């Protein structure tokens, strides 16, 4: 969720990305935001398909929701409340619990509370937690989650979800312990003007032919360099292309092992840096955002589904988009002057999910939330159509594709078919693990010093192993 926070913060003009800590403190300074929902004239009687399973009808009066930031509240208000079953939601308080300080992380707060779950009064127990996809594996094989089947959610309810999202939330016993409302397949977003100048075309199909595999992408990087452009902005812009396609888990045969795909990322990024194919930025820093505006020489970015919804529209325009969208038009910076194509390999980047906690006394309400946010075609079609996310619902997305959907930021392109096809191709093949988030973070931060010439490869690798030894001293490395 880090990149989502960066995007949201960047959208609040007037704040420097170098000073996000102060903004974040403002956003999460209150530990719990309590919203009492007693009258819900907008709610409908539940109409989401599901089998009837007998759950505890003596539901709690407080739903404790653990979040990393305020983002999920918007999703909840916009796409759950209008479809909620008033019978299970009425008279229930929503207690949103966030980290109290920058020194705490979402998982640290959650873990502390889980330890005391059995001893807490009923209405203080954790009911639902919101977890980033790259942190799910730290919880998926623990005993803290309620399998969704125990909530009464069936395979038929979930039939429209993309398979890879279910892989993320499936434990070693084959039980699905969480669900997500969003799919996050990635594409390559590029500038029309630079494509026309260098390639003589900006048509997505024709541009895709130039970057349909990594060798062709590298050839185009050289061509862009010859013409004064850069094919990417930063060191870590390609990381997810490789991490999404790893051939083995981080810990293999009892050892921490850098997968061959990640070694390819290191080699290719070093080549791009030394050859001048990128601008030596880092994902999320000011110069990385600056490379999205019209004065930049960067051809494109690898973005997940949120790319054309959040960072690009804000960073690429001359005048911030007004709330009524009246200046979301061609001529406002590069608005309408971006397109998307599939890119060299299918990949995903980001995502957030819902997990019910053992001990919750609000199973019926959590079931209703999960069904409406992750299985309700009407609600999820609105998510995609409104640009809130690319929903985790094949039927909803394909209805929009067939309807002639147009994305104005992308010059009217209907890129949903590309996202849909990419999401269908993703498979983690059992390579996810609880170590992914920390080890990936440390690999990127240490290799950055190799890319920029501050350290040799061996020095950067030694630093990486030193970092991870502090956290996982009992696990040897290759």
Contact yes or no for 98/31 (Cβ under 8 A): yes
Q: Assign 40 a pLDDT band (cuts: 50, 70, 90).
A: very low
pLDDT of residue 98: 85
Q: Rank 29-38, 53-62, 97-106, 188-197 by mean pLDDT and report only the highest.
A: 188-197
Predicted confidence (pLDDT) at residue 316 exceeds the cutoff of 70: yes
Region 163-187 average pLDDT: 96
Q: Quote the Cα angle for 292-185-415, to 5°.
A: 70
More confident residue, 281 or 433: 281
CA distance 168 to 153: 17
Contact yes or no for 467/443 (Cβ under 8 A): no
Predicted confidence (pLDDT) at residue 384 exceeds the cutoff of 70: yes
pLDDT in tens, 259-304: 999 999 999 999 999 999 999 999 999 999 999 999 999 999 999 9
Q: Assign 184 a pLDDT band (cuts: 50, 70, 90).
A: very high
pLDDT of residue 306: 83
Q: Each residue of 243-282: b (16+ CB within 10 Å) or e? A: bbbbeebbbeeeebbbbebbeebbebbbebbeeebbbbbb
pLDDT of residue 4: 41
Predicted confidence (pLDDT) at residue 49 exceeds the cutoff of 70: no
CB atoms within 10 A of CB 329: 12
**Nearest partner of 208 among 101, 77, 339, 91, judged by Cα:** 339
Single pTM value for the model: 0.88
CA distance 132 to 358: 19
pLDDT in tens, 1-26: 444 444 443 433 333 322 222 223 23
CA distance 43 to 90: 10
pLDDT of residue 161: 98
pLDDT of residue 51: 43
pLDDT of residue 99: 74
pLDDT of residue 37: 38
Averaged pLDDT score across all residues of the chain: 87
Would you state the structure tokens that stand for residue 32, as one six-digit string?
Answer: 């719990």
pLDDT of residue 371: 98
CA distance 206 to 321: 30
pLDDT in tens, 226-256: 999 999 999 999 999 999 999 999 999 999 9
pLDDT in tens, 107-140: 666 677 677 788 888 888 999 999 988 888 888 8
Region 219-227 average pLDDT: 98
Predicted confidence (pLDDT) at residue 368 exceeds the cutoff of 80: yes
pLDDT of residue 140: 86
């Amino acid at each position: 969720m880090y990149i989502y926070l960066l995007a949201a913060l960047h959208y609040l003009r007037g704040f420097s990305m170098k000073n996000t800590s102060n903004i974040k403190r403002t956003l999460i300074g209150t530990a719990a935001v309590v919203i009492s929902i007693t009258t819900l004239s907008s709610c409908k009687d539940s109409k989401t398909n599901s089998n009837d399973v007998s759950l505890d009808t003596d539901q709690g009066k407080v739903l404790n929701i653990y979040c990393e930031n305020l983002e999920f509240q918007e999703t909840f208000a916009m796409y759950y409340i209008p479809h909620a079953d008033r019978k299970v939601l009425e008279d229930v308080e929503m207690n949103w619990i966030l980290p109290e300080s920058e020194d705490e992380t979402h998982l640290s707060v959650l873990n502390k509370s889980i330890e005391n779950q059995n001893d807490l009064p009923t209405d203080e127990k954790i009911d639902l937690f919101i977890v980033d996809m790259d942190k799910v594996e730290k919880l998926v094989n623990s005993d803290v989650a309620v399998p969704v089947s125990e909530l009464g959610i069936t395979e038929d309810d979930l039939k429209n979800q993309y398979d890879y999202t279910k892989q993320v939330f499936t434990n070693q016993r084959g039980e699905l312990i969480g669900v997500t409302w969003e799919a996050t397949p990635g594409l390559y977003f590029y500038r029309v003007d630079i494509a026309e100048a260098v390639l003589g075309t900006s048509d997505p199909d024709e541009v895709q032919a130039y970057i349909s595999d990594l060798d062709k992408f590298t050839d185009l990087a050289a061509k862009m360099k010859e013409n004064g452009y850069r094919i990417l902005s930063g060191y870590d812009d390609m990381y997810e292309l490789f991490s999404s396609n790893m051939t083995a888990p981080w810990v293999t045969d009892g050892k921490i092992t850098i997968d061959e795909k990640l070694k390819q990322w290191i080699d290719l990024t070093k080549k791009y840096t030394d050859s001048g194919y990128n601008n030596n930025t880092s994902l999320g820093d000011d110069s990385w955002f600056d490379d999205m505006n019209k004065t930049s020489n960067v051809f494109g970015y690898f973005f997940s589904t949120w790319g054309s919804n959040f960072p690009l529209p804000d960073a690429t325009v001359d005048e911030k988009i007004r709330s009524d969208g009246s200046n979301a038009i061609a001529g406002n910076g590069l608005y309408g002057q971006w397109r998307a194509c599939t890119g060299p390999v299918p990949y995903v980047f980001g995502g957030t999910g819902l997990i019910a906690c053992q001990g919750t006394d609000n199973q019926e309400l959590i079931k209703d939330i999960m069904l409406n946010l992750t299985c309700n075609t009407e609600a999820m079609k609105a998510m995609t159509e409104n640009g809130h996310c690319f929903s985790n619902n094949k039927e909803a997305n394909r209805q929009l594709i067939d309807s002639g959907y147009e994305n104005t930021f992308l010059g009217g392109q209907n890129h949903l078919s590309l996202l849909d096809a990419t999401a269908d191709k993703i498979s983690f093949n059992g390579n996810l693990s609880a170590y992914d988030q920390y080890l990936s973070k440390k690999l990127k931060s240490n290799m950055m010093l190799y890319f920029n010439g501050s350290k040799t490869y061996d020095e950067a690798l030694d630093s990486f192993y030193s970092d991870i030894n502090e956290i996982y001293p009992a696990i040897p490395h290759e």
